């Protein structure tokens, strides 16, 4: 069972996102970076599948050289191999991103396809909701998004997707592609030995050519914040009667 997970390095903002002066990016001077949360869960899912079925879990990212940090993190939580597809921009449109990934994956596979390629359902920052599907289509493989559960059953991947009533089940023949949602697994934290191992991990680099897509970012902007006049119902336990009144108004009591 050879699995590939494609992840994206994204900033980890607090409650307030600050833009750079040219509005082309968010100000990350004080921010750490992380793997986009859906993808973090996808990595965990891959590691768990590898633990259950053998094989390898490979993590790939397309991004700046600093994205090696996210690759090493993946190793520290169990990935076997990591691949960097160097890109000098973080603003590649989804079409171009998918095309670059297809080239990189094709080169990596060189005739031996991954049994499963996992993506996150959407990236935390740009949220295009499409890269995994475009890649799967280009590779001619079945793909399903939004998975909250994933299992391997013989030569099929069984995926679960949440609905209002419960869940839907999909069965895709391998090799397949899937986009995971957070909650598909609870990602583990790295151990000290894991972290140390990750420092020594070999980073494979796959260089690809980038095309440009039809969508481009002009600039970022902050949504107009609704100014809410917060009504303070009280302090501590004394506020209880006021809260009860609110519950009554809303019709809950």
Partner 1 sequence: MSLILVFLDNDRGALSPSGPEALTPALELAETLGARLETVTVGEPGHAGLQQLGLAGHVVSHPILTDYAPEAYGEALAQLADHTGASVLMTLGDDRGAEVMAHVAAVLNEPLVANVTEITDASGGIEGAWEMIRVRWGGSLLERARLRSARKLLTIAPHTFEPPESALGNPTAASTFAPDLADHLARTRVVERVRLAEGLTLATAPVVVSGGRGVGSAENFAILEELADLIGGVVGCSRVATNNGWRPHSDQVGQTGTRIAPDLYIACGISGAVQHWVGCMASKQILAINTDPEAPLVTKADYAVIGDLHEVLAALISEIRSRK
Partner 2 sequence: MNFPTSAHVIVIGAGIAGNSVVGHLAELGWKNIVQIDKGPLPNPGGSTGHASNFCFPVDHSKEMTLLTLDSTRQYDEMGVMVVSGGIEVARTSERMEELRRRMTSATAWGVESHLISPDEVLELVPFINRDVIVGGFYSPGVTVVDSLRAGTIMRERAQARDALTVLPNTEILGMEVRNGAIHAVMTDKGRIETDYLVIACGVWSPRIARMAGATIPLTPAVHQMIDVGPIPVLQQTRSEIGYPIVRDMDTYMYERQTAGSMEVGSYAHRPIFHHPDEIPSLGESLLSPTELPFTDEDFDLQMEHALELMPEILSQAEIRYAINGLLSLTPDAMPLLGETVEVKNLWSAAAVWIKEGPGVGKMIAEWMTQGYPEIDPHSSDIARFYRFARAEHHILARCSEHFNKTYGIVHPREQWESNRRVRTVPAYPRQVELGAVFYEVGGWERPQWYEVNAPLVEHYGVKGRDHEWDARWWSPIINAEHLAMREKVGMVDLTAFAIFDITGPGVVDYIQKMAVNQCDVAVGRAVYTPLLTDTGGFRADLTILRLGEHHYRVISGGGDGARDRYWFRKHLPTDGSVTFVDNTSAVSTIGLWGPNARRVIESLTRDDVSNEGFPYGSVREVNLQGIDALMFRISYVGELGWEISVPMEQGLRLWDMLWEAGQDWGVVPVGIGVYGTTGRLEKGYRLMGAELESDYNPVEAGLARPKVKKADFIGKGPYLEARKEDPATILCTLTVEDHTSASGMERYMGGNEPILTADGERIVDSHGRPSYVTTAGNGPSVGKYLLLAYLPPAHAVVGRELAVMYMNELYPVKVAIAGSTPLFDPQNARMKC
Residues of this chain, 208-237, that bind partner 1 according to CB under 8 A: 213-223, 225-226, 228, 230-237
List the x/- string, 61-80, binding to partner 2 by CB under 8 A: --------x--x--------
CB 71 within 8 A of CB 111: no
Q: How far is CA 13 from CA 31, 120, 138, in A?
A: 6, 19, 34
* Single residue of 13, 64, 142, 149 touching partner 2 by CB under 8 A: 13
171 binds partner 1 (CB under 8 A): yes
CA distance 207 to 88: 11
Check residue 250 and report its DSSP letter: H
Structure tokens at 236: 């501590």
Among partner 1, partner 2, none, what does residue 18 contact (CB within 5–8 Å per kind)?
partner 2
Cα 182 from chain centroid? 8
Q: Other C-beta atoms within 10 Å of 193: how many? A: 9
Residues between 24 and 63 with contacts to partner 1, criterion CB under 8 A:
26, 37-38
* Single residue of 1, 19, 25, 31 touching partner 2 by CB under 8 A: 31
196 binds partner 1 (CB under 8 A): no
15 binds partner 2 (CB under 8 A): yes
102 binds partner 1 (CB under 8 A): no
- Name which of 58 and 130 has its Cβ closer to partner 1: 130
Whether residue 175 has a cis bond before it, omega within 30° of 0: yes
Residues between 160 and 219 with contacts to partner 2, criterion CB under 8 A:
188-193, 195-196, 199
Cα 163 from chain centroid? 21
- Name which of 149 and 194 has its Cβ closer to partner 2: 194
Determine the Cα angle at 176 with ends 73 and 130, to 5°: 70
* Single residue of 66, 111, 112, 163 touching partner 1 by CB under 8 A: 163
Residue 120 parent element (H or E): strand 116-120
- Name which of 84 and 178 has its Cβ closer to partner 1: 178
CB 90 within 8 A of CB 67: no
Structure tokens at 228: 């809410």
Residues between 82 and 101 with contacts to partner 1, criterion CB under 8 A:
93-95, 98
153 binds partner 1 (CB under 8 A): no
Residue listed under structure tokens 């921010």: 31
Check residue 201 and report its DSSP letter: P
- Name which of 50 and 141 has its Cβ closer to partner 1: 141
- Name which of 193 and 236 has its Cβ closer to partner 1: 236
Among partner 2, partner 1, none, what does residue 88 contact (CB within 5–8 Å per kind)?
none
CA distance 141 to 162: 22
Q: Which residues bind partner 2 (CB under 8 A)?
A: 12-16, 18, 29-33, 69, 72, 188-193, 195-196, 199
């Amino acid at each position: 069972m050879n699995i590939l997970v494609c992840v994206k390095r994204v900033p980890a903002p607090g409650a307030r996102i600050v833009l750079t002066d040219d509005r082309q990016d968010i100000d990350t001077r004080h921010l750490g970076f992380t793997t986009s949360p859906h993808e973090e869960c996808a990595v965990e899912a891959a590691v768990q599948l590898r633990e259950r079925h053998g094989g390898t879990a490979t993590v790939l990212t397309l991004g700046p050289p600093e994205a090696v940090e996210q690759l090493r993190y993946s190793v520290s939580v169990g990935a076997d191999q990591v691949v960097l597809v160097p890109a000098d921009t973080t603003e590649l449109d989804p079409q171009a991103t998918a095309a670059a990934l297809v080239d990189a994956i094709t080169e990596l596979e060189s005739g031996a396809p991954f049994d499963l390629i996992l993506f996150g359902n959407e990236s935390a920052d740009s949220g295009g909701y499409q890269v995994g599907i475009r890649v799967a289509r280009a590779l001619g493989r079945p793909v399903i998004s939004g998975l909250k559960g994933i299992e391997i059953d013989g030569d099929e991947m069984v995926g679960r997707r949440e609905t209002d009533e419960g869940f839907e089940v999909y069965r895709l023949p391998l090799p397949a592609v899937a986009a995971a949602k957070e909650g598909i697994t609870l990602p583990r934290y790295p151990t000290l030995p894991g972290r140390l191992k990750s420092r020594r991990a070999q980073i494979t680099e796959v260089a690809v050519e980038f095309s440009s897509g039809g969508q481009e970012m002009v600039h970022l902007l902050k949504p107009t914040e609704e100014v809410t006049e917060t009504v303070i119902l009280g302090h501590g336990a004394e506020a209880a009667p006021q809260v009860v009144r609110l519950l009554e108004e809303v019709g809950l009591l």
